[in-house]
Structures are given as structure tokens and as C-alpha cells.
Structure 1
């Protein structure tokens, strides 16, 4: 790769990071404006209709949603209050430096390493700039940006709230059980010598729970929305239920009741630093293929480094699934185990950025895995939701594929 290309990539990355920060900071203005649209629409109605809706409490509801939005905005401002985790201090209009590798670890961890299935993974980077010395126009977050931020609030529910426990455990528990079964011959006190990688770790709960079992665990995440948020919850939150958010106030569709829409969610449901003494738990920022691929840093070779790789709602984020599975296979030690859980919602299908996208059926993915050198066992289908509103009138259920695969080739 040429030096000039490296520079342009770094500049693009710093611009994107600044734009993400701007999106967080513009949440209140954007969301209040969207709610105010409802208020304006209310006042276009005939007086008799306004009076009727007022008796139902509609105007009061709009005011309460404003209050909830401001509470969310206060929380989100805390999340981005220290972007120095990426090596910068973003002042007003300052340019951001490109994100660097960083470790997220709890108070008891000791690190020796350095750097979704969010269905809102950051595939589309907006390349406008957030002000700064170059006097570019201040970035205006798009509807797409704000949708990712709202999805991040729901991700907090999934990973770090009591309300999200049922959905979370439907996915994470079978994976943890498979991990424990595969390494059942390893005494609990010696699990630290088993190295587990969790790519696409999102807000880090699965990786955190694996570390809680005593395994050495590293999470990997690419999305800045997820990285900033996971850093906040893992490193800057020191009390159970320290924060209150209102993740369901952004849409009035498919709402059963005002109480359901306005219900507060407290996070976290566990103390993130409450891990076994001496456990090695880290989170690495960056692209999975770049960090763990064969062309990764020669000083930190990934080949054969991991005893287990857990992919939860992750493999369908691939542009080229062949390369993903090749990297997983290459990164595993001989006899290592790959535990997979998730659907095949190919993230790059029909993308508008001219990126390649290879989309396989489930049977094709499994055939590919066997060809690359995996023995698949313990297969089953697990029905699960993903950042679903448990009290809403609409929900999507994934018939997710689960398997345990051992490296044989």
C-alpha cells in the first residue's frame, strides 16, 4: 500500500470519527426537532380534534418525550466526553486524529495485547468534516447516522440491562456452554491459559462474560458507535444501574401504551469491573480482516494464536465470507474451536458504495467451512430477537444458526 494511500485512509478515518462524535452531540437537537414535528402537526388540526387529543393526554405525552430525549442526550454526552481513548482531545471544531489501538479492561485485568451484530454496523462513512482548521463545512448528521445512534441505545438494553437478559442469554448462553464443554478438561483455575477471541463484540457483554468465566478474552470491534459506548460502560461505569436511558421514545409506531414507550432502562445490570482477579480481558479497535488477517502486524502474528473464536451475529458482516472463514481457521490453534451463532443478514448486499458482497446460503456457508478445514458439530437452530422492544407490537425473530466447529485442517 502506498504512503499516500495510508495518509488518505488516516484522514478519512479521522473525519469519520469526528462525524460520529458530532452525531452524538447533535442527538438532542435532531430528536427534539423530530418530536416537535408532531407538535406542529397537532396544531394544524381543527380545534375540536385538538381538544379531543388533549383529553387523551397527547400534548402531555409530547412534553414527556422531550424530557426523555434530554435525559438520553445527557447520557450520550457522557459517552463521548473523553474521546482521548483514541488518542485525541476533541475541542470545539478540532480535528480528530485517526483512532489508535486501545485496550478496554476492567480493574482486575492485566493486558498483554493492543487493538454486530449491530445490525447498524458502520458500513457507510460520511466524509464531510466537522469544522476545524481546514474550515470545512460543519458536518450535519444524516438520518442514517441518527438511526445508528438510536440503535446504539437499544444495544445498551441488549447487552447491559436486566430487561435485555432474556434476549441476550438466548444467544450468549449456548455459546458459553459450548466453550465450557470444549474445554471441560481444563480446571477452572487454569482457564486463563485458554485464549478466546470475540470479533464483532459490539458493547462487549459476551466478551466480558467469557472473561468472567476465567478465560483470557479479547473482543474486537470496528464501529466507532460501539467502541465509544463499550469504553464508557466498561471503563467509566463503577456502579450497578448508574445510568438511565429511554430507548423507545423515538417512534410512536406499534406502541401498546404510553407507559411502555416511556419506560426507563437502567444500566448496567452488573458491575463491569467485577471480574476474577488476574483475568486478562481486552478490547481491540479496528477492522477484523486487517487485524487478524494474514497481512496483520508481523510483530503480533495472529496465526494459531487463539484457542477459541466466538462469532455472534457476526459472519454476515463479511464482504467476502471466504476470507472471514479463512482468517478464523488460520487464527485458531490446532484443534481450536469456533462457536457460531447468528443469521445471514448479509450487511453489504445491495450496498450503494460499490463494495463487493458475496452472499451465501446457510448450507453453502457450512460447506465452505468444511472445505476450509472445519468439522461442524452440535448444530441447531435457535430462535431469537435482536435489540427487540419486548413490549412493542412488532418484532423480528431470527431462526439463527448455531454450531460448534473444530479446526481439523
Structure 2
């Protein structure tokens, strides 16, 4: 379906606002840190001397430095934003998947691998995250983004005529992206990845245990809500043809940079935990540097089939409204892997129908995650259906899945391992095969 001019302008405005958020990270974060400095100077001299002797004043200055390092990295991420914006979301609408690396960039170590996130697809971004305490809930995915509103309250053309001022919500998504980089592309994130990704990969391998490894490339695996792409990359590393799908421009920009612009292990240093002084047992917990990536993104096997498609899961993979058996979108995938994803649905019935529809007969759906329904209590008048875990599984059976290998896996999500505060999800895991 062709995009309307209004949709094109809305998408372009939203993307420009995301780029501005990246660009404004340093002044925004420095301003917040400078508030601490100002507060310090309001104290009595005796109190300031005591706190200075504890290193508090030096810690504020060290955070300034860390913010500059983060900003340098984020500016590199958006150095080539045209990768996604192109001429607007209507371009290449018949071929929304744009695989491969941008070979014009000299930073690319191996331009031959098809390891780049795809381009535009149908991506009208909407984000919803629940917040707790000092910031966004750790399981916020970044996969839905309600930030299309123009700051002037007018239309997109008015927005483009004045400089966009990122909101705290925008910056919270950017800070979350830095933590996602820890989860997906650092050694520190390995423990969390192992809890979440390893059971999924093991179940995938088990389902196709009768298939020789050299034939895995003939089996197509989809990872919706792919985030920064590590799970999808790992699956491609196993030899399967794998495609990730992601909706958030924050995630897409960062994943593109990691997958296509990073040519050495530990090439980049970030400081993802410097934005809050709460719940830190010591200074190192706040100021410790994280090196990314922990693997070489271009190290996929020769001929690996790996891509990332930008856009809304239902719009891209849902096919037409006419669900007849001749629809080409039916049965095109041998496996669908959902990790901390299904609770991003407005209507979980639609998600499960799409997953069932696109799977080949006997195909497998492997799921891990909680049920933090992202649209619950939204203020945008979007519908939201919130089921219990028992209801989700009963719904899956009614739609045509046979569920097995059920268990609960306790895991964190973008957790600061050294913080005094942490969330633990009792995540549901299962393997489900398409039976009808």
C-alpha cells in the first residue's frame, strides 16, 4: 500500500527528531550533571569541604568526561543517518529489506557480508515504556515510540521549521539504548544474554537436530523485536538464514553502526551508568567503562544470510487483510524467535495470528519473556489487551500451536550488575509448533 504524503512527512519528522536527540545528548546530560554541581555550591562551606574530602566534587567532574565520551560515540552512530531516511519511507516500498553493508565507508572491515540492518519498511514508530523510580522500566525494548508529536503542537512542516527540543522521554530512550549496547554487545552483558538467548538457541537447534549443520542455511528464522541485533546475529552465526525485525529508530541506528561500522573487538568505550547517582555502592559502579563489541560483527561465516528489516512487525509480516491460502506471506518462515517481545502487542491476538500464519507447517515458535504489557494505561487512546500467562498460552493453542518445553527462567533486562537495585523477571519460556 502506498504511503500518503502525511505519513511520509510524519516519518521524516520523527526520524529527524531522533537524530536531534542523539545530537543533543551531551548538552542535555551535562546540564543535568551541572545541576548537581550547582546544588553542591549551595551547601555551607563546611559541608562542601566534607563532601570534597569524600571525592564527591571530583566524581561530578569525572561524569562530565564520561558524558563527552558517550557523546563522541553517539555522534559516530548518526554520522550516516541517510541509511534509513533515504528519500522517505515510500522509496523501495516493494523491497523494504535492504541487506548488506554500506561499502562506501572505509570503517567497514568486511563489506561482503550481508549483516546490515535493513532499511525502511513500513515504520511508523510508536513507543511506550513504563517507568519506575528514577527512569524507564528496564524492560522497555525501545520497540514502540510515541514521539511523533510536533513540539509546536502543529504539523510536521511546522516542526521542521524550528529546532526540535528533545524531551526527557526522548533522552530516556537514548540512555536505554546505551544499556542495550551493554546487553547485546559487551562481555558484561554475557551473563544476561546467556540466560535469555542460550535457551532459545538451544531449542532452535534441538528442533532442527535432524538437519546437518551445512544445510541450516536453507531454513529461515525470524527474530521480531530484534533490538540491537545480537540474537539474530547469533542465529546467523549458527548457520541459519536469519532476519531480524525492529521498529525503533534508536535501535536501528545503533545496530546498523555496530554491525556495519565496527571493525574491531572492543573498539568503542561507553559509560552507560553515569546518568543516575542512585543505588551506587561505590564510584566504580557509576563510572566503569564498558567496551563494545565483544565479538567482531563481520565475522559471520562466508555466505551467511543475515539481515535486519525496519518497520512494524504486523505491517511487514502480516500480509494483506485477505487471509486466503494463496497469500505469499503464508508459511515463509521455519522458525520465529520472540525474546521480550510479545508484550509489546496492542492486541496479542494479532501477534499470534501473524506468527502462526507466517510459519511453515511444523514450524517452531520459541518464546521467552514476561508480560509487561507496553500499552497498558497509555495516554494516546491506543487499544490495549492484557492477558494473563495462562490466557496467552490458551490463546496460542486455540490459534493452532502445540506448546511444549515450558519452564520459567529468572532473568534481568539491561541490568546494571553493580547497582544496589535490580529487577528480576520470572520469564516464561516455551517451544510451540504449528499444528494447523
Q: TM-score, normalised by structure 2?
A: 0.87
Q: Is the 8 A contact 1:381 1:401 kept in 2?
A: yes
1:119 partnered with 2:141: yes
Q: Is the 8 A contact 1:18 1:129 kept in 2?
A: no
SS at match of 2:402: strand
SS at match of 1:269: coil
- Indicate which of 156, 159, 162 corresponds to 1:137: 162
Deviation at 1:303, TM superposition (A): 1.2
Tell me the equivalent position of 2:7: 9
What CA distance in whole angstroms lies between the structure 1 residues aligned with 2:366 and 2:388?
18
Tell me the equivalent position of 1:103: 98
Deviation at 1:65, TM superposition (A): 0.2
**Where in structure 2 are there 5+ consecutive unaligned residues?**
102-109, 122-137
Note the 1:181-220 alignment, pairs <5 A.
Answer: 181-220=206-245
When residues 142 and 250 of structure 1 are mapped into structure 2, their CA distance, relative to the original with a 3 A threshold, is same
Tell me the equivalent position of 1:149: 174
What CA distance in whole angstroms lies between the structure 2 residues aligned with 1:50 and 1:87?
49
What CA distance in whole angstroms lies between the structure 2 residues aligned with 1:209 and 1:105?
17
Deviation at 1:110, TM superposition (A): 4.9
When residues 120 and 135 of structure 1 are mapped into structure 2, their CA distance, relative to the original with a 3 A threshold, is closer
Tell me the equivalent position of 1:91: none
Tell me the equivalent position of 1:328: 355
When residues 8 and 400 of structure 1 are mapped into structure 2, their CA distance, relative to the original with a 3 A threshold, is same
When residues 375 and 211 of structure 1 are mapped into structure 2, their CA distance, relative to the original with a 3 A threshold, is same
- Indicate which of 339, 363, 373 corresponds to 2:366: 339
Q: Is the 8 A contact 1:384 1:397 kept in 2?
A: yes
Deviation at 1:103, TM superposition (A): 3.2
What CA distance in whole angstroms lies between the structure 2 residues aligned with 1:147 and 1:54?
30
- Indicate which of 422, 425, 430 corresponds to 1:395: 422
- Indicate which of 385, 391, 394 corresponds to 1:358: 385
Q: TM-score, normalised by structure 1?
A: 0.93
Deviation at 1:400, TM superposition (A): 0.2
Q: Is the 8 A contact 1:245 1:265 kept in 2?
A: yes
Q: Is the 8 A contact 1:197 1:218 kept in 2?
A: yes
When residues 133 and 197 of structure 1 are mapped into structure 2, their CA distance, relative to the original with a 3 A threshold, is same
Q: Is the 8 A contact 1:376 1:403 kept in 2?
A: yes
Deviation at 1:234, TM superposition (A): 0.3
Tell me the equivalent position of 1:42: 40
Q: How many residues were matched structurally?
A: 400
Q: Is the 8 A contact 1:167 1:386 kept in 2?
A: yes
Tell me the equivalent position of 2:127: none
What CA distance in whole angstroms lies between the structure 1 residues aligned with 2:328 and 2:5?
24
Deviation at 1:105, TM superposition (A): 4.1
Deviation at 1:137, TM superposition (A): 2.1
Tell me the equivalent position of 1:303: 330
- Indicate which of 315, 331, 337 corresponds to 1:290: 315
SS at match of 1:352: coil
What CA distance in whole angstroms lies between the structure 2 residues aligned with 1:251 and 1:134?
31
How well do the aligned residues superpose, as a CA RMSD in angstroms?
A: 2.4
1:228-260 Cα distance to aligned partner (Å, 9 max, x none): 000000011010000000000000000011011
SS at match of 1:256: coil
Tell me the equivalent position of 1:93: none
Q: Is the 8 A contact 2:142 2:248 kept in 1?
A: no
Q: Is the 8 A contact 2:143 2:227 kept in 1?
A: no
Q: Is the 8 A contact 1:86 1:99 kept in 2?
A: no
Q: Is the 8 A contact 1:13 1:99 kept in 2?
A: no
SS at match of 1:203: coil
- Indicate which of 305, 313, 323 corresponds to 2:340: 313
What CA distance in whole angstroms lies between the structure 2 residues aligned with 1:145 and 1:133?
19
Deviation at 1:118, TM superposition (A): 4.3
Tell me the equivalent position of 1:20: 18
